[in-house]
Amino acid sequence: MQELVLHLNKRRTLMMGVVVLLAILAVIISFNFKITPTSYFGGSYNNYFLVGLIVYKLIELPILYYLLLYRHVVHIRKNDNYLEKFPKIKKHTKLLLFLIPQGNTIFGIISYKLSGNVMFFILFSTIAIITLILVKPDKLL
């Protein structure tokens, strides 16, 4: 289990770096190119979509955390024999550390296109960084 936790901490650090790199790239792109907001439905619903994306992401992340990491932590604390569930734990924790940056990046791109403002991409990048900081694979020990 120690080896898995070490690997997950390295992956978490790598994913934080990827999120920061994408945020820097988005800022550079915003300085060089003008992104115009979309005009679906006349553009009148863009702010509602943006708020909906933010609320959805703030609800989704705790659910993902519970399903992919926390329930395994509870199972390990109750039972000493985790070897039978080890492949599932490994798969789920790797998936969690992939889905957090991937989902926030996609939502950031969508919100950037909806608003034309890079600050929404930075907001979703910040949410991803905070979530990655709060998710501690050391709890599996």
Q: pLDDT per residue over 69-126, tens digit each?
A: 999 888 888 887 778 888 998 999 999 999 999 999 999 999 999 999 999 999 999 9
Structure confidence at residue 30 as a pLDDT band (50, 70, 90): very high
Contact 44, 127 (CB under 8 A): no
Q: What is the pLDDT averaged over residues 13-27?
A: 96
Residue 102 burial (10 A CB sphere; 0-12, 13-18, 19+): middle
What is the model's pLDDT at position 86? 87
What's the pTM value of the predicted model, to 2 decimals?
0.91
Please, is 2 exposed, middle or buried when counting C-beta atoms within 10 Å of its C-beta (0-12, 13-18, 19+)?
Answer: exposed
